[in-house]
Structure formats: C-alpha cells, structure tokens
Structure 1
Amino acid sequence: MEIKRTVFIITSVAILSGCAVNKPTEQSSSYAGSKMIESEESRPNQRRAYENDSENTRRIVIYDASIKIVVKIPDSTNVKLAETALKYDGYVQTLGNKKSILRVKSDKLQSAIADISSLGKVKDKTISGNDVTDQFVDYQIRLDNARNARKRYLELLARAETVEAALKVEKELERLNGDIDSLEGKITQLKHLSEYSTITVLMEEKVKPGILGYIGIGLYESVKWIFVRN
C-alpha cells in the first residue's frame, strides 16, 4: 500500500512538472510583431502654419553674379579681387589667370561688383537670383517631423520590454538620425548660399601690340591729329 502511494505521488509531480515546462511564457510587449510608423501632421497644414509665422516670412534668395573684364595683368587683378572679398566681409573661393570666384555678403553685392568693374574694361555683366524659400520651408518641416519622431522613438526605447523590440526601435533611430543630419546640412547650406553671394570674374588679358602694332597706332594717331587740327 505504501509503495503504491509513493508511486502515485512521484507520477503526479512528474505530470505537474511537465505541464509547467510546456506552458508558454507570456510577455506583453507593444513592439513585438508590430511595425512602428511615424505619425506626421499634414505637410500642407504645416507649411501654412510655418509661413504664417512672422519670423519665417523672409524670402530666401541666392544671388549669383558674373562679370567679364579685360585687364592688363591677371595676377595683379587677383590681388585686388582678394582685397575686395575681404572688404565686403567675404572670402576667395578660387583664383586663376582666367577665372576667379569670390563670395561676399549678399547685402554688399552691388558695391563689390562696382569695385570689380573698376579693375578693367567690362565686356559683360549679369546678376541672377534664385528663390529657394519653398525648398527651405520643406526641409525645415521635414526636419521638425524627424526630430519629433526621434523623441517618440526614444520614449519607446525606454519602455522596450524585449531585446527584439529595443533593436527595432534602435534601427529606426539610426535611420532618423541620418535623415536629421542630412536635412540639417541642406538647411545650413541654403542659409550660407543666401547669406553670401557668388561673384564669378572672367578675365581676359589685354593684348599688347608688337612693333608693327605700335607703328600702326602711331600712324593712326598722326592722321587723326591732322584731320582734327584741320
């Protein structure tokens, strides 16, 4: 009788242990098996709100100027061009015998062009402006959305209950950080290009006449003097 009782107890424990081992572990997670999607406001509404802000009404325009001049000595002209760039709070981008590029403060562009025009005989001059306000606003809205999404993902990461959920959030954060860095770079570039105008100076060296050339010039001046005197 005692032996049967012992066998019954051992059998019961084994059955209960098996049930405990085979019972699935339940763990609630709001991340596992679900795809996390960034929630963004309607971009047109954001654009209107952004443009209605008085601080964002300034148009962002990138100005580029090109001037072609005939000079005696290109090297000497380049020295003057460098001085002009510094004079108008700018800098030299490239200097060459035929082409030089300067950057000056946009509000001083006209004054800089006037100084450059005095360095030689102007053969051609153009100034163009490119309004990039819409592009700038679009970048800014996308940047704001990306930053807001990053905040939400950081909150989700703090509440992640499994390694799998944490890895999913970290992957999205890595993507968002890349987008944010890219957008910040584009915005910075547009701001810089609008703050500093580009001036491209094309230089043509003045042709020096040879011996025969000087003789021809002398004859021309002599004939001109005779007719003018008479």
Structure 2
Amino acid sequence: MKSQVKDNYQITVATFDKHAKQYQDKYLEFAQYTQTYDCLLSYLTEHSRLLDISCGPGGISRYLVAKEPKLTVFGIDLAPQMISLAKQNVPSGHFELMDCRHLHKLIDRNMPPFDLIACGFALPYLSQTDLVAFFAHLRALIAPQGIVYLSTMEGEDSRSGLQTGSTGDSVYVHYHQYYFIEQQLAANGFQIRDVKRQLFPAAEGTTATTDLFILAQAGA
C-alpha cells in the first residue's frame, strides 16, 4: 500500500510538472480563484511574511505582491517547472523545490514565523493521514494570530482516486469534507474566520465539483 501511495504522488507531480505552462495559462489570473485572495488583503502589511505552499506558478504570491510590493515571499512546490514559472512571475520572492508533506524541514531551519500561509489547492493531493501532520506543521510555522488561506475540492473521501485528463495524463485526487478540515484546524489552535464555496463547472465527461475556501487564524 505504501508503494502504491508513493506511486500516486509521483504520477501527480509528474503531470503537474509536464503541464506547468498550461496550468499557468489557465489559472494564474483565473478570476474565480483570484477574487478569493482578497480576504487576505486586510491582514497584509509591508512587514508581512508569506509562506506559499505548493505555490504552482506563483499565482497567490503574484496577486499579493501586486498589492504590497514589500511582502516577503517564500514559496515551495514539488514540480521543478512550477518553481521556474513562480520565479519568473514573482521575481522578488524566494522559491524552493520541496514536498509539502515535509514542512518539518522548514521548522528544522528555525525560520522566522510566517504572518500568512497560503495553500492553494494542494489539499486535494494529500491524503487524510498527510493532512493530520500538515496542519500540525502549519501551527509550528505560523506567527501568533497569523492567517492561513486554504482551498480544496470538497467531497466524500470515497470519490478519491486517479483522474485522467484529455491528454492521457493522470493525477490522484483526494476529496475532503469541511468537518474534517475544521477538526484539524481546531485541534491545532486555529479559528475559522471565513468559509466560501464555489461550484466549479464540469468539463465534458466529468462531474462538477465544489471548491472550498477557508480562512483561519492562529491563536495568540
């Protein structure tokens, strides 16, 4: 089972790496997503430090830096091509190849705490077991009263599995329910500040999904 899980992660990363440019072209300025970043603006100052987890081509960082150019950005992703694009899109940021399941490596580096942590659609590629450790790591990395932005695809775990697109490439998608994420956040001292849902239209031959957006704040 462990080897199969590892294979699924490798398949997913390889697909995102292969189609990084196409992903950027579709989602870098995708209004349905960028409008959800506005909830972070009231927490943004020129002294803010942002951790952009699974940053992709840097869409969230790019949007926030446009609002606050002095924002300090540290982004990670496991797809080399995504990191390359993020560096181009956010020249002032620092981006590294890193698995978001290995956030303990950032903790071990004794990095200053982050005021904002953004994780745009990485959760669908993490299992429930992964998420238990993931949220504990977030708590260790965030500053007191810091803000976390999360987005994922909401649904029963029974829907999880490999999905193959029109190109023939696959990703393994994990669906998560709101109550599970809420429980994990609460267990790690976060309080939910805002929740939004958007219906994502289905492509031909697929089922429509519900995108879930959560804003949470760490305790003092």
Q: Which has the higher contact order (CA 8 A, sep 6+)?
A: 1
Task: Tell me if TM exceeds 0.5.
Answer: no
Name whichever structure is richer in helix by fraction: 1
What TM-score bracket applies, with the shorter chain setting the length?
Answer: under 0.3
Give the structure-2-normalised TM-score.
0.21
Give the structure-1-normalised TM-score.
0.21
Name whichever structure is richer in strand by fraction: 2
